[in-house]
Amino acid sequence: MKVLISGGGTGGHIFPALSIANAVKRRQPDAEILFVGALGRMEMERVPAAGYEIEVLPVAGFDRKRLWRNFGVLWKLWKSLRKARRIVKEFQPDIAIGVGGYASGPVLKEAQRRGVPTLIQEQNSYAGVTNKLLAKKAGKICVAYEGMEKFFPADRIVVTGNPVRQDLEEASDKREEALKFFGLSPDKKTILVVGGSLGARTINRSIQGDLDKLFASDVDVQVIWQTGRYYHEEALKHLKAYRGMPIWCSDFITRMDYAYAAADLIISRAGASSISELCLLKKPVILVPSPNVAEDHQTKNALALVGKDAAVMVADKDAEQQLVSKALEIIHDDERLRVLGRNIATLAQHQSAERIVDEIVKIIEKKNL
């Protein structure tokens, strides 16, 4: 079996892609897997670190605000289509899988042009433009939310959920060792703040601006704060005045299973992969959707949970004034924590990567009949 996986750009695309690749390898250890990503993006580090080969395309996203910059984007797209043609021709995959991100479009378009079966994994509750176009010729569209018929042909949709890192499915049993790992107390409630691998400016500023509230003498909480790469130095400067306070701060968390296990309440962006992880972990969460994403899909992801009383949402524009106060209100309300945890658990999709591999195998077998 030869599998071509394209996409990336953020952890929200890369981690599902790696989960699918790992599931393919578990099912068929001699499978050949090749990734295709975008030049200068996170997949160039993460994919080789996971033991897979990767080809890169010079593709970039369209600049919706400064349209004049898109002349360069179109040139990169043309070069990417040419390179994608060479990759598909030389690798000769049995199937091409798109997980979203800039590289997905050129690779799946070329695979479809050459008659290679394709599968799309759409993580969000609101489908992006590229996936809607690619879906017309895709063999299957694996989705995480019900009601995706408004974007894709109903007869090719399969609700599989979003693949998550395998260690997270067992995270809930590790609370004691998790608190030791972060040097935190088992007697205090823990707020986990995550903003993705690069960081979320609004979330970080909200925490920085309200450190006095978090560590007031009558507030018995502790914090795990993942700042992301771009905001770590600034966060450390702010924390100099709070030495000795119960907070663990880093730009990246190597053991996310421990971070989730330790947390009583989580503050997060509303990326599809993050939400899938939180559903599996049955964790109460405050979602702060990023406004800087296509079609405002994070707000739509968050509202899908808020409508089921499975999460609380604070808008990005309100976060610096409201986020920490809302977090402290919820973490001291045991009944609210219990209800949020119970409701988000009902939305969990288990063994998503394995279910996607089931669809991959069916498509390849059908092709070989």
- Extract long-range pairs of 325-332: CB within 8 Å, 24+ residues apart: 325/210, 325/213, 326/286, 327/191, 327/265, 327/267, 327/286, 328/213, 328/214, 328/219, 328/221, 330/265, 330/284, 330/286, 331/189, 331/191, 331/221, 331/264, 331/265, 332/189
User: Which CATH code is given to the segment(s) 166-345?
Assistant: 3.40.50.2000
The answer for residues whose C-beta is within 8 angstroms of residue 222's C-beta and 6 or more apart is 184, 185, 188, 189, 190, 191, 246, 247
73-116 confidence digits (pLDDT tens): 676 777 888 889 999 999 999 999 998 877 888 999 999 999 99
User: What integer pLDDT is reported at residue 235 of this predicted model?
Assistant: 86
Task: Summarize the confidence of residues 203-208 as an average pLDDT.
Answer: 92
Residue of 60, 89, 90 lying closest to 74 (CA atoms)? 60
What confidence tier does 127 reach under pLDDT thresholds 50, 70, 90? Answer: confident
What confidence tier does 3 reach under pLDDT thresholds 50, 70, 90? Answer: very high
Task: Of 62-76, 123-137, 237-251, 312-326, give the range with the top mean pLDDT.
Answer: 312-326
> Would the CATH topology of 2-162+350-368 be identical to that of 166-345?
yes
Q: Distance (Å, rounded) from C-alpha 303 to C-alpha 325?
A: 21
User: What integer pLDDT is reported at residue 295 of this predicted model?
Assistant: 75
Cα-flanking dihedrals φ and ψ of residue 146, to 5°?
-70, 160
Cα-flanking dihedrals φ and ψ of residue 319, to 5°?
-65, -40
State if pTM tops 0.85.
no
What confidence tier does 134 reach under pLDDT thresholds 50, 70, 90? Answer: very high
User: Which CATH code is given to the segment(s) 2-162+350-368?
Assistant: 3.40.50.2000
User: What integer pLDDT is reported at residue 258 of this predicted model?
Assistant: 94
User: What integer pLDDT is reported at residue 152 of this predicted model?
Assistant: 96
Cα-flanking dihedrals φ and ψ of residue 102, to 5°?
-60, -35
User: What integer pLDDT is reported at residue 71 of this predicted model?
Assistant: 62
19-39 confidence digits (pLDDT tens): 999 999 999 999 999 999 887
DSSP state of 10: S
User: What integer pLDDT is reported at residue 223 of this predicted model?
Assistant: 96
* pLDDT reading at 64 higher than 60: no
In a 3-state reduction of DSSP, which class is residue 248?
strand
User: What integer pLDDT is reported at residue 140 of this predicted model?
Assistant: 97
Contact between 164 and 19 under an 8 Å Cβ cutoff? The reply is: yes
User: What integer pLDDT is reported at residue 81 of this predicted model?
Assistant: 84
* pLDDT reading at 220 higher than 70: yes
* pLDDT reading at 198 higher than 70: no
What confidence tier does 285 reach under pLDDT thresholds 50, 70, 90? Answer: very high
User: What integer pLDDT is reported at residue 293 of this predicted model?
Assistant: 79
Q: Distance (Å, rounded) from C-alpha 234 to C-alpha 227?
A: 9
Contact between 311 and 287 under an 8 Å Cβ cutoff? The reply is: yes
User: What integer pLDDT is reported at residue 219 of this predicted model?
Assistant: 75
* pLDDT reading at 269 higher than 90: yes
Q: Distance (Å, rounded) from C-alpha 8 to C-alpha 15?
A: 9
> Domains of the chain: which residue ranges?
2-162+350-368, 166-345
How big is the CA angle at 143 (ends 139 and 147), to the nearest 5 degrees? Answer: 110
* pLDDT reading at 125 higher than 80: yes
Residue of 261, 319, 259 lying closest to 287 (CA atoms)? 319
* pLDDT reading at 224 higher than 90: yes
Contact between 12 and 272 under an 8 Å Cβ cutoff? The reply is: yes
User: What integer pLDDT is reported at residue 215 of this predicted model?
Assistant: 84
Contact between 327 and 319 under an 8 Å Cβ cutoff? The reply is: no
Higher pLDDT, 165 or 310: 310
